[in-house]
Structures are given as structure tokens and as C-alpha cells.
A and B are shown apart, each in its own frame.
Chain A
Amino acid sequence: MKTFAYRTATGLADGLEPGAVFLAGGTNLVDLMKLGVATPDVLVDVNKLPMSEVGELPGGGVRIGSSVRNSDLAADQRVRTAYPVLSQALLAGASGQLRNMATTGGNLLQRTRCRYFMDATMPCNKHRPGSGCPARDGDHRNLAILGGSPACVATHPSDMAVALAALDAVVQLDGPTGQRSVPVTELYRLPGDTPDRDTVLEHGELITAVDLPALPFATRSAYRKARDRASYAFAVGSVAAAIDIQDGLVSDVRLAFGAVAPKPWRAFAAEAALRGQPATREHFMAAADVELRDARPLRDNAYKLPLIRNLTVSVLEGLAGEVTR
């Protein structure tokens, strides 16, 4: 691990010197530092900043402080009632110990688990720009089928972010150039030729909160995750969904896919295809296929296509069943 300085952030928008990064739960950053993949000069600890509350927004909705721990957020009664998909996604991730440490903002900003990225001795355009991407011809079983580029096919590993993308969550940022709001669906960049930058955040910008807008039909929402073992494993495919059904027709729907793209993949095309259609298995499947039409699977990850299609149908059917019961 490279030697680094450490200081505690005392106020929002303290500013961040070059080579400095924010430290929240540390569950991903500290690992990457031990591996030599992240080599910051300074850690600026934001845990003392007042960002650890879950509160209600005027006009409905919930504001989640950036430092709210994953386990606290999953247990929050407002979240469990109004946005069950988020609580389920959080509890599907990591382990109890990690969820106790990991924060809302940090979870959003975790890096890919691509095995080449995680190994500093490997080529990787994300950790060493220009060094190449061995994953396309090498190990990519759990890498992207959507949104990748020749330079990078990494997937974003978060479960929570998939639920937030489906819920139209908005990230509140504070930084040297002031405050701004960015929807979670626009927080992440697709890799293109510059996969070293995961998000649109500028240096020194800090996530202070995540807002969940009011979405009454999200009381019927769910998250389902497939993984290689029963617990403590990253998703190989996941689906977050909320659906509103009136008279047997889909009046509104939110759908997002996890572990298929460099970002939580909001399935806008599938949503558009479903609105106004009968809430049936055939239409759920057809909608998933619309979204997956642009998928470009590699040698070993084409299984994600039937997996995401099946998960989509399973989750939407489950929610539709709740409505009709």
C-alpha cells in the first residue's frame, strides 16, 4: 500500500487537494489501496459530516444522507414501506458486517469487480489507461453485455444502485463549483475510450444525499438477484422493478437491470414497450427482449440474456400477482 496522509473533513465543500479522495465506509477503497489499484495521496474522511439522516422531502419522497449505512437504510421503515425494492436490494448485497460499514454514497461509487481491474499487475484501461483490456478475450463471464466498449466491458457491481436507478433517485452533489443535482441514471459514464472515469463527478465533488422522489406505486416493487452462491456474492444478473396495473393494463412501470452494464441499466425501452399493454407474461418477456435487442454478449456471457429475461418476467409476474390477489 502506498503511504498516504489522512485528515477529517470538517465542513461540506472543504475542497479537495489534487491526489486526495474522500473516505466513507472504506469497504471498497481500502481494499483497492491494499491491492495497489487505488493510490491516493490523501484520504479525507467524511464520516463526521452531518449526512447520516434519512428524512422526508417536502411534497413526498425521502432524502437519504450520503453517510447512511446500508444496513440502517435497509431497515428504515419508510423505505421498507414505500420503496421495498431498495430495502431488498440492499439486503441482497455483501454481508451483514459490510452493510454496517458501507454508506449510501460510497456504495454508488464502488468500482467494478472485473478481475483485471482488481489486479494491479494486469493490463486494464480503467486502472492504467492505455494498457489494454484483456477481458474481451479472457475472463468476462460476469462482464457487460450492454453499454461496453472495445476499451472496457466492466460491470458496475452495486445492488443498491440498480434499485435507485429504477426509482428515479437523484444524487445531490456539493463541490468547489457549488451544488447540483444529477439523476442516478445519469451519474455514471459509459466507458467509451475513457473507462478510467466511472462517473460524471468532478474532482472534489461530494455526494451529500440521495433523493427518492415520491412514487406511490413503488409500494409494489421488488428486487431479485441471481448469483453464484446463496449469499455473499456479487450479482451475475439482477432486476429491480415497480409496476402499476389498472384494469389489467400496465399504466406505469420502472425497470432496471444489474450486472449487465458499466452502470445500473435503466430499461427505458422496455418500460416504453410495456406501458398500456396487458400485464401478462408474454408482454413482460417481449419488453425484456426489446431492451436486450442491443446486447452484445461476448464468448462466455450470453447466458445473461435468458437470465435477465427470466428475472424480468419473474419479478413483474410476482408484482402483478400481488395486484390481482
Chain B
Amino acid sequence: MTSTSARAVGSPLARLEGPAKVSGAARYAAEYPQDHLAYGWIVASPVARGRLDAVLTDPAEEDVLAVLWHGNAPELEKPDDPELAVLQSDEIRYRGQPLALVIATSIEAARRAAQAVQLEITAEDHDVELRADHPDRYTPETVVPDAPATSDTGDVDAALAGAPVTIDVVYETPALHNNPMEPHATIARWDGQDLILYDSNQHPSGIAETVGAIFGLPAERVHVVTEHVGGGFGSKGSARPNAVLAALGSLVTGRPVQIALPRQAMFSMVGHRAPTVQRIRVGATRDGILTAIDHQTCTQSSRLFEFVESASVVTREVYPVPNLRTGHQVVRLDMPTPRWMRAPGEAPGMVGLECALDELAAELGVDPVELRVRNSPENPRYVECLRSGAERFGWSERDRRTDGEWLIGFGMAGATYPAQAMPSTARVRALGNDEYEVAIAAADLGTGARTILTQIAADELGVPVEQIHIRIGNSTLPQASVAGGSSGSASWGWAVTGACRELRAAGGSTEEATFDTTALVQQQKEGRHASGAHFAEVRVSTVTGEVRVSRLFGMFDGGRILNPRTARSQFLGGMIMGMGMALHEEGVLDPAQGTWVNHDLAEYHIPTHADVEWIDAAWLDAPESDLNPMGSKGIGEIGIVGSPAAILNAIWHATGVRIRSLPARLDKLLPALPSPR
């Protein structure tokens, strides 16, 4: 084996699949050519609760192969996830639930027939509105991913009663909808007793297992092809109804069946971030040492499935407080089931916590950076992010001022996200001439996973990256954990490192090595976190109440940064998504209609390029070598944690107005602002 002088890890290698993507050569799930492809179109429930009595179709509809509903669909094995028991029952649990599947020889015919289908429904009264005093709220046992719903240390009530300074505020976050550029899509084809799924997801190995179980197949009989994925943000972490329906449609028609969700379905069928109502009480000494925090979250889930957004959990992890109580309550409503959305728990939870701390800093007259530093005695990396970020941003020169009609202000907030890895297996094969094939069933959501795994393998094998042939995105490869929880690079990189080292250790006695990290991962260090600090400069118009983010800066500790180019995109993307959370995104509920009424990207706003005026991220690049062989921590989610709070805090600094119900839109701000000039 040759050795190279420059290490690949840490270099800004461009994404390997970039040219294929921009030239259109890269295939996404719905783009694989098939013979006799048929198209499925989902008929969604127009009511939030009731029963589907019958589905009437026009037999004269041309080109329609089948119309499936619970009255005629094949019976499936009962899945763990009740949302996947599609077309199995007459119960309607939410508006937008798949009630029928039309399969036709063209997408136009399928769509036309789906609009013409007559649903006979017995509608029932629905309950869709989250209220913190909802009589049906209850405390669940656990919140996602698997944390106790409550915690209580010290004597919070006594500490709050005795605290010289207290803050007692309620922050509300709305329903948020993951909207990757590529909506969920599947082509399903039966090949004898085997099921082939071209599917857009974050976890090919998991999809094979889940969908296999529903059709009574072992995972190895399901071949999930996930070569390229146009984003997921958590919504593709597990199989969604499109995968099961496509397989069902193919089973019935004997043809390959494609289902690509329209944008509107992304707002009901694939999960969302549940709204939260968070009450936070904070007690502190006059010099800003936290003595007590009580963080209580009320949120919602569906009738089908208990998924509890863990917004209060993060408060157990950031600042050491002697008296700390956290809790969650959940209300089950006639609404779609919430799911993972980028930094579930941390993203909304840090809005509540970091805005409350800003209110405390204002009350005390303490610099918000200094307040956090004082309360982080054993968190040197977080302190370094705070101090170094403040210096690079020019925090000490912040100057609340006006410029014509614009009020200008500055805000900051902290960030944290767990550093974790999950069991995965990788295989390395020597191909001769110092070339190697590296294989693992990982999914690259556009983040650069394929690229950094290549870099890791190149260094471990001592060859240039051009001599590594990476294979990912296929469930027939060695099993990999989900591209979620900011754990992909750590989990898969660990397995790739292990396999490469085994092959080298064998010294040429074998041409192939496979490495399973399960045992190692079980011994990994618990309770470790990536951290960061966000700084925002905003201006608010006294004429219109419009908010503009003039500058947004993030300083992060992500351990070893494997590729600064792709890492920067992860940080900035998260920060911009946080800007959307602060200023734009909201599922607007109509309680009478039983649904969110904005369900496309014209009406559900995310930031445009024009909203991002100046943005930058920097990082410590300090390996944490006892975490995993790379010394890396996940960075996929830390960018969205804290950036919304930094922007909200800057709006307060500019205007004196606390917006405690997201998003901070002009209709909330304008009536509270002083008259122009």
C-alpha cells in the first residue's frame, strides 16, 4: 500500500456526485426506468374523523388498473407504526389520511381518476386544537427518542420562591412541516417473491425491515435502492405510506408502481414537528447564577400513535442547575402523527430556554453571553464557542440604533445537540492496483455522506480518494443506521474505519474485511454534545413591521470537522432553517375544517435567498478523540438549535417587543411598534 502526504479528512473535497446531480445523470427514486410502469395516486381523506363506508368509482374511467381501499385491498401484517396499516380499516383518524389508491397506466389518468373517485364517509365531530389546558392532556411515560417525560431534582418550588430574580414566561411554537426538495417517492416492483423498492428515505436497512415485515418477508428479501435523496430533515427516517402503497399496488396489478407524493401530501402524510406550548420559570441570583428552572411542555400527537416532541429534555443538558424540574404533557388529537423534524426536542426547546434566559439577562442587566458563560463552569467547549463567536461577530460593539424607519438590534443564543453513534457495519474489498471498494447501506441526503466516507477510507487505507470506490444507498449492502440524530458520519465512519483497519491488519492475507461496530458503540461515551453559539443582527421596519436579518453568525464545536465544505453547508442550512422557524414557518390550523390550510410552498413560507443577507459559520475544529475514531460529532442539526432564539432575542433588542409565539411576523410586530419617526 502506498502512503500519501496530505490527509483527505479535513480537506474541502467537493461532493463526489455533484456533477451527476447538476447534469441530471443522478437518479432519484421516481426516476428509475421500468417496463410497463404504472402510477399510483393517493385519495386522501377530506375529513378529520369518521368512517369510510364505500368508495365508488366510474368503471368507464380509461387506463385505470385498480382502485384499492379497505374494502378490497389485500390484508397486511400489522405494522408497529399504525400509519403504515394503509387501506386496512374504515377508521379515519386525520384529514389527509390515505383512503384509496388509484393505479393507472399514466400519471395523468391516475390523477384524474383520483379526483373523480366518490368517497362515502360518515363524518364525526373532530378535535384538532392544542390547548395547554386541554382536559385530555396526560403525561406520557417517555418522549422522543426515549427519554423520561419528567425529571425533578432539588426543590424547584422553594428555589423559585426564594430566588431574588425570577422569569415566568410561555413560549409557543407552531406546527412545522419538513419539506425536502424531493418529496417522498417510491417505485415498487415484485421480482418473484422478492420486493424491489426504489425509495427516497434516510434508512435503507430500516425500510427493508419495516416494509418486509408488513408483507411477511424477511428484510433480506426486500431490496431498497436509495442512491440519491433530495433531503429528508427527519421525515424520511422511517417508511412512509408511499412505500407500502406502492408495494401493495404492484402486488395487485403485477406491474411496477410509482408513487411520488405531491407537495400537498407532505403536510399530512409524512410527519411534522408538533406545536408546543412551553412554560418556563427561571430563578437566579442577582449576579446571574441560575438557581432553579422549571420547563413544562404541552404538545400534541395523533389518535394513531404517541410521538411526543421532547422540548423540555434539552433543559436537563445545557446548564447545571441545582433545582431543575422538566416535564411534558401530550394531547391526542384528530390530526396527523408528528414525527422527527431536524433536531426534534432541541429546536423548539431551545427557543423556550434561550429566550427565557435572554429575558433574564435583560432583567438583570447582564450581557447575555456573560450570563451563559457564568452558568457553564464545566463546559469549556461551549464557553469557547460563546467567547470566540462573540469576538468574531463583534458582539461587544453591538449598538441598538435606528436607521430611518428601521430599528436595529442584536441577539444571541446557545446551541447544543447530542453526539451519538449507532451500530453499523461496513465492508472493504481490495480490487487490486491499490483500489478499494467500500460498501455500507448508508443514505446520502445531499449532505456529503458519500464524500466524507470516501475521505475516511482513503486515509485509513493510505490511498488517494480517487482509488476508493464507495457504494452506499442500497439495503443489500452491509446494514447501516439511520441518517438521523446527527449520527450518520460518526456511525458509518466508525464502521468504515474499522473495516479498513482490519483489512490493513490482515496484511494482504485477505481481500475483504467486514466490521460491525455494535459492541464498540455500546461502550460509547454517554452524555456528550456538540455545542454552539448563534449571533444575529436584525432590523425591523416601523412602517411595516417587516423583519430582516442583516447578519447571522454561528460558532460551533462539532469535534473533528471531516470536510469543511460540506460541514459549512450543514451549519448554514440549519441556521437558515432556524431563521424560517423564527420568522416564516407555520402550519396554520383551521379548527373547523380540521386541518392546516396552508399546504404548499407558496403559502407555507421558508426563507428565500433574499432573506439571507449575510451569513457565516465558523468552528473550533477540535477532535474529541475518545468519542469515535474520527473524533467527530454530528453537525446536521446543531445549526437549527438556537438560531431561532438568537433572532427573536435580536428583535426584542431592536424593538423592545418580545414575540413569544412563533413565527415573528409583521402582523404581530406592527401593532406593538412605535409609530414611524
Residues in chain A within 8 A of chain B (CB atoms):
1-3, 36, 113, 115-116, 118-122, 134, 137-139, 141, 226-234, 236-237, 300-303, 306-307, 310-311, 313-314
Residue in contact with A229 in the complex, picked from B590, B611, B667, B675, CB distance below 8 Å: B611
Contacts of B608 in A (CB 8 A): 229-233
Contact call A230/B610, Cβ cutoff below 8 A: yes
Known: A122-B593, A137-B592, A231-B608. A115 touches B603 (CB 8 A): yes
| Minimum C-beta distance from B580 to chain A (A) | 9
- B564 contacts the other chain (CB 8 A): no
Asked if A230 and B548 sit within 8 Å, CB to CB, the answer is: yes
For the complex formed, measure the closest distance between the CB of A9 and the CB atoms of chain B, giving whole angstroms.
Answer: 24
Contact A307 B590 (CB under 8 A): no
Q: Check A228 against B676 for contact (C-beta < 8 Å).
A: no
Q: Tell me, yes or no, whether B584 is within 8 Å of chain A by CB.
A: yes
Q: Give the complex CA separation of A120 and B546 in angstroms.
A: 32
Smallest CB–CB gap between B2 and chain A, Å? Answer: 50
Name, among A134, A141, A226, the residue most crowded by chain B CB atoms within 10 Å (CB to CB).
A226
Q: Which residues of B sit under 8 angstroms from A120, Cβ to Cβ?
A: 115
Cβ contacts A to B, 11 pairs, < 8 Å: A1-B111, A1-B112, A120-B115, A134-B593, A141-B588, A141-B667, A229-B611, A231-B611, A302-B671, A306-B670, A313-B676
List A contacts of B676 (CB < 8 A).
310, 313-314
Pairwise interchain contact B597-A139, C-beta atoms closer than 8 A: yes
Q: CB distance A310 to B544 under 8 Å? A: yes
Which residues 318-340 of B have a CB within 8 angstroms of A?
none
Q: Select one of A118, A226, A232 contacting B666, CB under 8 A.
A: A226
The answer to whether B588 and A36 have CB atoms under 8 Å apart is no
Bound-state Cα–Cα, A306 to B600, Å: 29
Our count of residue pairs bridging A and B at CB distance below 8 angstroms stands at: 99
B565 on the interface (CB 8 Å rule)?
no
B581-605: which residues lie under 8 A (CB-CB) from chain A? 583-584, 588, 590-593, 597-600, 602-603, 605
Distance (whole angstroms) from the CB of A312 to the closest CB of chain B: 10
List chain A residues, Cβ under 8 A from B591.
Answer: 138
Inside 8 A of A116's CB, which chain B residues have their CB? 597
Supplied contacts A139-B597, A226-B544, A232-B608, 14 more A-B pairs, CB within 8 Å: A115-B603, A122-B593, A138-B590, A139-B588, A227-B546, A228-B605, A228-B665, A301-B667, A303-B666, A303-B671, A307-B544, A307-B670, A310-B544, A310-B670
Taking each of B543, B584, B600, which has the highest tally of chain A beta carbons within 10 Å of its own beta carbon? B543
Kindly report which residue of chain B lies nearest to residue A115, judged by CB atoms.
Answer: B597
Other-chain residue from B108, B610, B667 in contact with A236 (beta carbon distance below 8 A):
B667
Q: Select which of B543, B548, B584, B611 is within 8 A of A311 by beta carbon.
A: B543
**Closest chain A residue, CB of each to CB of B111:** A1
Query: In whole angstroms, what is the CA distance A36 to B111 when docked?
Result: 10
Q: Which residue of chain B has its CB nearest to the CB of A137?
A: B592
Smallest CB-CB separation from B589: which chain A residue? A139
In the complex, B607 has a CB within 8 A of chain A: yes
Distance to closest chain B CB from A76 (angstroms):
24
Task: Determine chain B's interface SS by DSSP, over half rule.
Answer: loop
Question: Once the chains are docked, how many angstroms separate the CA of A2 from the CA of B58?
Answer: 14
Q: Across the interface, which residues of B come within 8 angstroms of A310, CB to CB?
A: 542-544, 670, 675-676
Kindly list chain A residues whose C-beta atoms are within 8 Å of the C-beta of B598. 115, 139
Closest residue of A by beta carbon distance from B95: A121
| Cα A141 to Cα B670 with chains together (Å) | 14
Q: Is the pair A121, B46 in contact by a Cβ cutoff of 8 Å?
A: yes
Tell yes or no: B609 within 8 A of A by CB: yes
8 interchain residue pairs of minimum CB distance = A231-B610, A230-B610, A226-B544, A138-B590, A303-B667, A115-B597, A121-B46, A310-B543
Number of interface residues of B (CB under 8 A): 38
B584 (CB) vs chain A CBs: closest residue: A229
- The interface centre, meaning the residue of B111, B591, B598, B670 with most chain A CB atoms within 10 A of its CB, is B670
Closest to B671 in A: A303
B75 within 8 A of A: no
* Nearest CB on A from B118, distance (A): 13
Cβ of B478 within 8 Å of any chain A Cβ, yes or no, is no
Contact B607 A229 (CB under 8 A): yes
List residues of chain B with CB within 8 A of the CB of A118: 600, 603
Say if the beta carbon of B545 comes within 8 Å of chain A. Answer: yes
**Contacts A228-B584, A231-B608; is A237 near B544 (CB within 8 Å)?**
yes
CA distance A226 to B671 in the complex (A): 15
Query: Closest residue of chain A to B663, judged by CB?
Result: A228
Q: Which residues of B contact A232 (CB under 8 A)?
A: 608, 610
Q: Which of B115, B588, B607, B610 contacts A2 (CB 8 A)?
A: B115
Cβ of B667: which chain A residues have Cβ within 8 Å of it?
Answer: 141, 236, 300-301, 303
Interface residue? B405 (CB, 8 A) = yes
Q: Which chain B residues lie closer than 8 Å to A121 at the CB level?
A: 46
> Does the CB pair A311–B597 fall under 8 Å?
no
The CA-CA distance from A236 to B605 in the complex, in Å, is: 13
User: In the bound complex, what is the Cα–Cα distance between A300 and B671 (angstroms)?
Assistant: 12
Q: How far is the CA of A307 from the CA of B111 in the complex (A)?
A: 42
**A231 and B588 within 8 A (CB):** no
**Identity of the chain B residue whose Cβ is nearest the Cβ of A285 in the assembled complex:** B675
A229 to B671, CA, bound (A): 18
CA distance A231 to B605 in the complex (A): 10
Q: Which of these, A119, A229, A230, A303, contacts B597 with CB under 8 Å?
A: A119
Query: Which of A119, A137, A229, A301 has its CB near the most chain B CB atoms (within 10 A)?
Result: A229
